[in-house]
Amino acid sequence: MDRSLTLWKKSQFNLLPNPDASRILRYTDDLRAIISKENCHEAHQEIRSWPDYKISELISLPKLAETLNFVDISFKDESNRFNLGSFKSLGGAYAVFRHVQRVVEEKTDKEIGSDTLRSGKYQEFTSQITVTTATDGNHGRSVAWGAQLFGCSAVIYVPASCSQERIAAIEEFGAHVIQSDLNYDDTVRLCAENAHKEGHQVISDTSWENYTGIPTQVMRGYSLIAAEAIVEYFTRSFREAIPPSHIFIQAGVGGMAAAISGYLWDLMDEKRPTIIIVEPENAACLFASAAEGALTKASGDKETGEIHTIMAGLDCGEASPIAWKILSKGADFFMTIPDDITGPTMQLLAKSPFSDPALVAGESSVAGLAALLMTASHNESRRTLGLSPDSRILLINSEGAMDKALYQELVGEDPNH
């Protein structure tokens, strides 16, 4: 092991094989109702039609792969999606579009496309619509952008821990931001309660009882990441035209992780990559659910029980039930990592000791890489995960430096430099 990676070798992690996962399990119709090749393709076609759509870059880290004895390590870089800074732009805005489209079609009895809504032709109807959500930052920004794009209003709730920079980024798109004195999960409930009173439409990336349709739309938007990645792998040189063998996916409520896992399960069946779900140890609701064999809240800090992590986008104590439906059988492993590895992993990407391309990654983006570095440092975990010299690893840079002050504190450099 390279001496520059000693820190990850010494760091403690928890790795849990999913007893309910199996390569022989088939993707079922009830899961296809959430995520399927067909319904995701519809979302992909819509999002690709939006102004400024570009395929996010697949960035290879060849020297790190060589150091860890893998064929390839690649990052799907979501930090420039629609200039919103994160993968969330694919989900929230898409769900806003579908809601606004449905309302306007009901009022006009006509089929309405997104280009028509963006033109402002039906502003008399769209201006009466208010969408709302609770967010740690990125999802709220996507909903606010979608509201601006399709002509409605947005009210965004953020938890007490949300930084002023993330709030300002949401307000850029004309949304009204309300900061609660609660944690993320309780802010979700507050948002839903107030939406019911005010007649606003919740556009959430997590689901609950009798609220699944919109979170499903959000997840279908996220699945574009997987669709693009597979095409990018197969358009590389002929010698490397092989899909990833392993995907390390960081998770909050589980929406992105389930979208990618479900899409690839339906697309590739038993040939799909091995999926490792990674969470911060103090906000590990999916790990806790896998350990119990049923949807379970995160246990939080060992001493205080507090659910909190420096990885703001993963600061969730309760998983989305529809995401869990897919991940409970579609994820191969669940893993937790400590917060204190976040800064060093961000630094490793920003200033590679191996002369790989520099990558600006926010604190919620690096959990997958941290997990890879930890597990690749030990023979036992390499064997458990099936990591070998033939492995091709896919990671997701799910956000850029959305909190620049925190990035500078953790990395020691201005992200713009």
Radius of gyration of the chain (CA): 20
Number of other CB atoms surrounding residue 7 within 10 Å: 17
Residues 134 and 178: their CA atoms lie apart, in Å, by 9
Please give the Cα distance from 353 to 82 (Å, whole number): 30
Q: Kindly list the catalytic residues.
A: 88, 136
Q: Which of 264, 245, 287, 258 is nearest to 394 (CA)?
A: 245
Name which of 48, 52, 58 is nearest 78 in CA terms.
Answer: 58
Phi, psi angles (nearest 5°) of residue 105: -65, -35
Separation of alpha carbons 227 and 288, rounded Å: 29
Segment 376-385 long-range contacts (CB within 8 Å, at least 24 positions apart): 376/68, 376/69, 376/70, 377/1, 377/5, 377/8, 377/9, 378/9, 381/15, 384/15, 384/17, 384/333, 385/15, 385/246, 385/274, 385/276, 385/333
- Residue 78's nearest CA partner among 57, 104, 97 is 57
At position 74, the amino acid (one-letter code) is S
- Enter the tokens of residue 411: 């990395």
